[in-house]
């Protein structure tokens, strides 16, 4: 009995083991099958090897070709592979991390290290070795290939866990008529729960439905698209309007297009006003320091532009000193630029302007000389070439409100910044002791001195304040334009224009003039072109000054008399 | 007493100055003087100072090889300070006072136009290394940069044929080069069947920095369903804010590519190029072109400037070719006499930096390849297209009514810069 039981047990164990090993074999079979086929193909050279699925490395090696058609074929083939390496490799190609090794004509992942290429296997990411910097080159792609890669990546990203990625992926696929892409979108639509993603997918699907054979499907699509601002929608509706023969569709199309056009028009007006405000804020920043030195003190300072330039260069230097913190280096640059420009301003006041009070022509010539000295000094120290000021991430890009209306972040921040500087300065002049003294000296120097104000010291501090503010303006302008020796020259005329137009000695006048001229310029620009718009604004100011020589808001009382 | 003292001073001065003049004459006999006329201060210093360094580097290398005809080359550098009338004065000074045998110089067309009457009057020799608008050919000037048919026309062909572009924005800075180039391009586009309404032309002042409205207009123009591209002749500094605004407003090269004729490696070295990847430039040379001559040139430039981050660009290649051609021509003519060198120049071949040979033609323009490159995130260009062979520079455009019958040929029997092939006479409609 015991014996037979143990035999039975042994038999069962055997049976289980056998079944397990069989299962194992099956598993091995499925995993090994491609290799087997490949091995067979390799073994039998006579047979057509095109039937065999090529390895990812083989596909990548086609990217060594010089023809962009070959490369596109390789990219499409790569995207069809069922491998977790597809997305990273497409991204690598996009970021120029795939390099062509000229020595053995293969493609691998590469990164520059100490002037050499460190090559990694594209599939396993194991190190292959290093080659000389000239022995390998990144794979060149062009715009067409970039679009192909982006579309392929969007297909993968459509099923990403991150909803932001899905929105972008769906937006990328709008206007695409490829049936594979459309079915992928439909599939995603069924399981999608994020409303923004759904909106993008619906736009894409409705645009595709405009090409449908059925009239009702087309009418439905037109109806849902009739308030959609995506530029592709307008184009497709227009295209449809040319092709259609049905009257019902024609009316629906015209109605939808009219709605879209009127909405676009509204947003374009908003756009122009934003551009005007932005130009106005730049003018305000450039002019506000001058409103102090010229407006309050009456000094014609031709070196004002160069003080702005010094602020811009300070931004550059601060970024060089803090190489790892571009995101917040601007916060350091603002006070630093204020100090640098204020210091230079005080030097100019002490050594040049002090001796020339009451002699405007000599002041003009002397400060013009100072401006040339500062320019050439910068050329000698920093070279005549422009310097790169890095834009922090939070200042690049745009706040996309809808497809036709967006506010660029750098401009938006600069509008707020200009207003903040303006309010700060206003408070300083109105609420502090220094402000009181500045106003007293500028209104009547003799009386102020009689009252015990040290007018020399106040002059130096006021000039320093105006110059320091010019330096702050330089930090903001460094984000918009070139940081080079000529930066100041391009703003000096504008600054004087704003201060004179607004009324010398009046900060509110400067504010109104800056935004008024900014908006006027931008309203004229689409009609007259950039060159003519500027000329028209200048002619207007000349005529205006002849009528009202003291500007928009003339100072009244005794101060205005001298 | 005081009178005789001052007389003595004067006499001493005369002796001293004649001694200087004498030593100058001795120097002149031993060396060949090379004038360098590039702005080292003012707005153009950013571009032109690089070319001054290039000429000095070439002279240094030539002297290491033993000079020309056994004589050392001696550079005479002057600074016309981005001031156009000063270019003419400095040219006169170089030719009459310094007695130079050749001048390498100028960048902007205005400066060249101001130098032109002086070199013609004094029979000097000028090598002009920058791409320009054409419509000119002087006996005394050799143009080693691109004429419009070596840059603008092939670039537009690429846009039409390879990218399928149907609508064009011609954006430029408001001065002679963009205006003439755009006139040629407009005529060319119309001859290719592009409708008037599909061409938008826009000019901006020098150093324009507020591109918001223009970029927004371009966006609107480009969203009409037809593939749109911008052909940019925007000059110098204004490019940086233009490209920044493009990036910020989200105009990518895949939607609306910008092909530029004045943006090279040097201009890009002032910007973060990540948002610009894919925008195009058309030149006859890119630093990224891979061959031994170019690698050697780049190495030489890095060691000359002591900065291995310094980039090379197309006008530098034009200077390189012009200089080598002049050396060859002087050796062929066995003289530095302007007329003899000018005759010897025609037909001279020297290697260019893109792996081929540059040829000087009878119209004083070069034959060169045309390359189209896309901006990469490292500030370099990747070549995406190039012409099959060399394109011969055309001094007078075939697409302008005033110049289509004109040719330039400085060989016998024509010997004329603006020969009218219809009337068979020199000094045709567009003569200077």
HSE-up of B17 (CA within 13 Å, CB side)?
Answer: 5
Q: How confident is the model at residue A8 (pLDDT cuts 50, 70, 90)?
A: low
**Cβ-defined contact of A134 to B377 (cutoff 8 Å):** no
Architecture of domain B152-260: 3-Layer(aba) Sandwich (3.40)
Confirm whether A182 is domain-assigned: yes
Residues A115 and A177 in one domain: no
The whole-number pLDDT of residue A7 equals: 57
Q: Which residues share a beta bridge with B382? A: B374
Q: How confident is the model at residue A46 (pLDDT cuts 50, 70, 90)?
A: very low
Confirm whether A134 is domain-assigned: yes
d(CA B394, CA B405): 12
Give the least confident one: A211-220, A276-285, A473-482, B360-369: A211-220
Residues A324 and A464 in one domain: yes
pLDDT by 10-residue block (mean), chain B, 432 residues: 47 44 48 94 80 96 93 95 92 96 93 95 96 92 94 93 93 90 94 93 87 90 89 84 86 90 84 84 93 93 92 96 96 94 95 94 95 91 91 92 88 88 73 40
The whole-number pLDDT of residue A32 equals: 40
What number of other Cβ atoms are within 10 A of residue A301's Cβ?
Answer: 33
The whole-number pLDDT of residue A4 equals: 53
Q: Is a pLDDT exceeding 90 seen at residue A158?
A: no
Note the pLDDT tens digit of each residue in A96-148.
889 998 888 889 998 888 878 889 998 888 888 888 887 888 888 888 898 88
**Which of A10-14, A221-225, B381-385 shows the highest mean pLDDT?**
B381-385
Q: How many residues does chain A have?
A: 562
Confirm whether A45 is domain-assigned: no
What's the whole-number mean pLDDT along residues A367-381?
Answer: 92
Q: B324: Cβ–Cβ under 8 A, 6 or more apart, which residues?
A: B58, B350, B351
What part of B 196-235 touches A (C-beta under 8 Å)? 202-205, 207-210, 212-214, 216-217, 220, 223-225
Confirm whether A382 is domain-assigned: yes
Domain extents for chain B? Answer: 152-260
Closest C-alpha to B267, from B311, B298, B228, B203: B311
What part of A 514-533 touches B (C-beta under 8 Å)? 522, 525-526, 529-531
Q: Considering CB atoms only, which of B216, B248, B270 is closest to A396? A: B248
Closest C-alpha to B180, from B207, B147, B208, B143: B147
Residues A360 and A506 in one domain: yes
d(CA B105, CA B80): 10
Q: Is a pLDDT exceeding 50 seen at residue A458?
A: yes
The whole-number pLDDT of residue A16 equals: 53
Residues A199 and A340 in one domain: no
Q: Which residues share a beta bridge with B368? A: B391
Residues A139 and A93 in one domain: yes
Query: Which residue is listed with tokens 């409205």?
Result: B213
Residues A168 and A310 in one domain: no
CA B47 remoteness from chain centre: 11
d(CA B344, CA B325): 10
**Cβ-defined contact of A482 to B270 (cutoff 8 Å):** yes
Percent above pLDDT 70 for chain A: 89
B35 near A CB under 8 A: no
Note the pLDDT tens digit of each residue in A286-301.
999 998 888 778 888 9
- Give the closest-approach CA distance of A236 to chain B in angstroms: 8
What number of other Cβ atoms are within 10 A of residue B266's Cβ?
Answer: 21
The whole-number pLDDT of residue B18 equals: 43
Chain B residues whose beta carbon lies within 8 Å of the beta carbon of residue A140: 374, 382-384
Confirm whether A189 is domain-assigned: yes
3-state DSSP assignment of residue B236: helix
Note the pLDDT tens digit of each residue in A387-408.
888 888 888 888 888 878 889 9
Give the least confident one: A49-53, A520-524, B209-213: A49-53
Distances in Å between the alpha carbon of A557 and those of A444, A561, A562, B4, B231?
Answer: 11, 7, 10, 66, 56
The whole-number pLDDT of residue A366 equals: 94
Residues A134 and A210 in one domain: no
Q: How confident is the model at residue A20 (pLDDT cuts 50, 70, 90)?
A: very low
The whole-number pLDDT of residue B19 equals: 42
**Which of A52-56, A428-432, B94-98, B304-308 shows the highest mean pLDDT?**
B94-98
What part of A 245-284 touches B (C-beta under 8 Å)? 268, 271-272, 275, 278-279, 282
Residues A450 and A304 in one domain: yes
The whole-number pLDDT of residue A386 equals: 78
Residues A135 and A164 in one domain: no
- Give the closest-approach CA distance of A385 to chain B in angstroms: 5
* Average model confidence (pLDDT) across chain A: 84
The whole-number pLDDT of residue B64 equals: 94
Q: A108: Cβ–Cβ under 8 A, 6 or more apart, which residues?
A: A98, A99, A101, A119, A120, A121, A122, A128
Q: How many residues does chain B have?
A: 432
Q: Exposed/middle/buried for A559, CB within 10 Å: 0-12, 13-18, 19+?
A: middle
The whole-number pLDDT of residue B103 equals: 97
Q: Considering CB atoms only, which of B45, B212, B225 is closest to A278? A: B212
Interface with A, mutate which of B51, B270, B286 (most A CBs under 10 A): B270
Closest C-alpha to B128, from B172, B81, B91: B91
d(CA B191, CA B399): 9
**Cβ-defined contact of A408 to B275 (cutoff 8 Å):** no
Q: Is a pLDDT exceeding 60 seen at residue A48?
A: no
- What pairing do the DSSP bridges indicate for beta strands B126-128 and B167-173? unpaired
Chain A residues whose beta carbon lies within 8 Å of the beta carbon of residue B274: none
Q: How many contacts does A have with B, using Cβ atoms within 8 A? A: 135
B30 near A CB under 8 A: no
Domain coverage including residue A194: 158-245
d(CA A532, CA B205): 9
Domain count, chain A: 3
B302 near A CB under 8 A: no
What's the whole-number mean pLDDT along residues A205-233?
Answer: 85
Domain boundary among A471, A495, A510: A510
Q: How confident is the model at residue A23 (pLDDT cuts 50, 70, 90)?
A: very low
B374 near A CB under 8 A: yes
Q: B288: Cβ–Cβ under 8 A, 6 or more apart, which residues?
A: B373, B376, B380, B381, B382, B383
**Cβ-defined contact of A271 to B278 (cutoff 8 Å):** no
HSE-up of B285 (CA within 13 Å, CB side)?
Answer: 36
- Give the closest-approach CA distance of A546 to chain B in angstroms: 26
The whole-number pLDDT of residue A218 equals: 86
Confirm whether A230 is domain-assigned: yes
3-state DSSP assignment of residue A98: strand
Query: Which residue is listed with tokens 């040290």?
Result: A454
Confirm whether A8 is domain-assigned: no
**Cβ-defined contact of A408 to B269 (cutoff 8 Å):** no
Q: Is a pLDDT exceeding 90 seen at residue A216?
A: no
- Give the closest-approach CA distance of B385 to chain A in angstroms: 10
HSE-up of B327 (CA within 13 Å, CB side)?
Answer: 21
d(CA A254, CA B115): 60
Residues A336 and A232 in one domain: no
Residues A82 and A169 in one domain: no
Note the pLDDT tens digit of each residue in A302-342.
999 999 999 999 999 999 999 888 888 999 999 999 999 99
Peptide bond into B413 cis (omega under 30): yes
d(CA A59, CA A74): 6
B76 near A CB under 8 A: no
Is the whole-model pTM more than 0.90? no
B383 near A CB under 8 A: yes
Residues A140 and A200 in one domain: no
Confirm whether A542 is domain-assigned: no
Chain B residues whose beta carbon lies within 8 Å of the beta carbon of residue A275: 210, 212-213, 216
């Amino acid at each position: 009995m015991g014996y037979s039981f143990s035999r039975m047990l042994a038999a069962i164990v055997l049976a289980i083991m056998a079944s397990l090993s069989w299962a194992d074999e099956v598993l091995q079979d499925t995993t090994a099958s491609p290799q087997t086929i490949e091995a067979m193909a390799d073994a039998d050279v006579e047979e057509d090897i095109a039937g065999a699925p090529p390895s990812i490395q083989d596909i990548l090696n086609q990217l060594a070709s010089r023809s962009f058609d070959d490369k596109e074929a390789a990219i499409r083939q790569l995207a069809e592979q069922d491998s977790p390496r597809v997305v990273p490799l497409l991204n690598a190609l996009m970021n120029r991390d795939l390099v062509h090794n000229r020595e053995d004509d293969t493609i691998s992942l590469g990164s520059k290290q100490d002037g050499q290429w460190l090559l990694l296997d594209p599939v396993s990411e194991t190190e292959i070795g290093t080659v000389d910097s000239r022995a390998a080159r990144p794979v060149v792609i062009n715009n067409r290939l970039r679009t192909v890669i982006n579309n392929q990546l969007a297909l993968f990203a459509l099923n990403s866990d991150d909803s932001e990625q899905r929105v972008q992926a769906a937006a990328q696929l709008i206007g695409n008529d490829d049936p594979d892409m459309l079915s992928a979108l439909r599939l995603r639509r069924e399981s999608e729960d994020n409303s923004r993603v759904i909106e993008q997918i619906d736009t894409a699907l409705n645009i595709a439905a405009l090409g449908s054979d059925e009239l009702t499907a087309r009418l439905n699509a037109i109806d849902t698209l009739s308030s959609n601002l995506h530029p592709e929608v307008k184009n497709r509706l227009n295209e449809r309007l040319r092709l259609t023969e049905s009257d019902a569709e024609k009316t629906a199309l015209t109605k939808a297009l009219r709605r879209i056009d009127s909405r676009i028009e509204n947003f374009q007006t908003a756009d122009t006003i934003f551009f005007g405000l932005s130009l106005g804020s730049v003018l305000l920043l450039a002019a506000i320091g001058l409103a102090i030195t010229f407006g309050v003190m009456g000094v014609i300072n031709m070196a004002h532009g160069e003080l702005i330039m010094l602020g811009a260069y300070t931004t550059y230097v601060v970024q060089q000193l803090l190489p790892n913190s571009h995101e917040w280096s601007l916060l350091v640059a603002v006070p630093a630029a204020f100090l640098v420009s204020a210091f230079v301003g005080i030097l100019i006041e002490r050594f040049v302007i002090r001796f020339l009070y009451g002699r405007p022509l000599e002041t003009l010539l002397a400060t013009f000389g100072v401006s040339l000295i500062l320019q050439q000094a910068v050329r000698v120290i920093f070279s005549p070439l422009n310097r790169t000021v890095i834009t922090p991430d939070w200042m690049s890009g745009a706040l996309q409100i809808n497809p036709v209306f967006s506010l660029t972040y750098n401009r938006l921040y600069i509008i707020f910044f200009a207003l903040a500087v303006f309010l700060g300065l206003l408070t300083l002049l109105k609420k502090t002791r220094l402000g009181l003294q500045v106003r007293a000296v500028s209104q009547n120097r003799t009386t102020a001195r009689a009252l015990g104000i040290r007018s020399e010291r106040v002059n130096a501090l006021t000039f320093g304040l105006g110059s320091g503010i010019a330096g702050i303006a330089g930090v903001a302008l460094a984000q918009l334009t070139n940081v080079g020796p000529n930066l100041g020259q391009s703003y000096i005329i504008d600054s004087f224009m704003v201060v004179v137009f607004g009324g010398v000695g009046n900060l509110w006048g400067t504010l109104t003039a800056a935004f008024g001229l900014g908006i006027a310029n931008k309203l004229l620009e689409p009609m007259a072109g950039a060159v003519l718009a500027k000329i028209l604004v200048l002619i207007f100011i000349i005529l205006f000054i002849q009528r009202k020589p003291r500007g928009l808001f003339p100072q009244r009382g005794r101060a205005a008399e001298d | 007493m005081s009178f005789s003292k001052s007389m003595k001073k004067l006499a001493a001065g005369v002796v001293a100055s004649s001694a200087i003049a004498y030593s100058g004459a001795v120097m002149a006999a031993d060396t060949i003087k090379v004038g360098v006329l590039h702005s080292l201060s003012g707005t153009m210093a950013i571009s032109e100072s690089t070319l001054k360094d290039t000429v000095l580097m070439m002279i240094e290398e030539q002297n290491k090889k033993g000079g020309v005809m056994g004589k050392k080359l001696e550079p005479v550098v002057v600074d016309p300070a981005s001031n156009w009338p000063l270019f003419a004065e400095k040219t006169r000074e170089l030719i009459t006072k310094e007695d130079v045998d050749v001048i390498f110089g100028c960048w902007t067309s205005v400066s060249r136009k101001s130098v032109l009457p002086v070199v013609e009057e004094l029979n000097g020799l000028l090598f002009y290394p920058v791409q320009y608008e054409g419509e000119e050919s002087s006996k005394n000037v050799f143009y080693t940069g691109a004429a419009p048919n070596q840059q603008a026309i092939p670039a537009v062909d690429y846009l039409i044929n390879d990218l399928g572009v149907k609508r064009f924005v011609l954006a430029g800075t408001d001065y002679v080069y963009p205006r003439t180039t755009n006139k040629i391009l407009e005529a060319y586009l119309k001859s290719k069947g592009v409708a008037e309404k599909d061409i938008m032309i826009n000019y901006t002042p020098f150093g324009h920095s507020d591109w918001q409205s223009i970029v927004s207009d371009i966006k609107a123009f480009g969203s009409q369903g037809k593939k749109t591209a911008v052909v940019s002749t925007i000059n110098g500094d204004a490019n940086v804010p233009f490209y920044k605004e493009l990036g910020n407003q989200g105009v990518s090269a895949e939607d609306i590519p910008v092909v530029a004729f004045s943006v090279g490696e040097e201009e890009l070295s002032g910007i973060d190029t990540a948002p610009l990847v894919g925008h195009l430039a058309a030149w006859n040379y890119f630093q990224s072109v891979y061959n031994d001559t170019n690698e050697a040139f780049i190495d030489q430039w890095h060691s000359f400037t002591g900065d291995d981050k310094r980039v090379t660009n197309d006008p530098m290649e034009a200077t390189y070719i012009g200089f080598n051609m002049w050396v060859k021509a002087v050796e062929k003519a066995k003289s530095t006499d302007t007329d003899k060198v000018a005759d010897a120049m025609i037909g001279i071949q020297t290697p260019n930096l893109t792996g081929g040979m540059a040829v000087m033609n009878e119209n004083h323009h070069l034959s060169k390849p045309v390359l189209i490159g896309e901006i990469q995130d490292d500030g370099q260009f990747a070549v995406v297209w190039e012409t099959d062979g060399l394109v011969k520079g055309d001094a007078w455009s075939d697409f302008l009514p005033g110049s289509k019958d004109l040719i330039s040929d400085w060989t016998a029997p024509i010997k004329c810069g603006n020969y009218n092939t219809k009337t068979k006479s020199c000094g045709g409609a567009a003569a200077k």
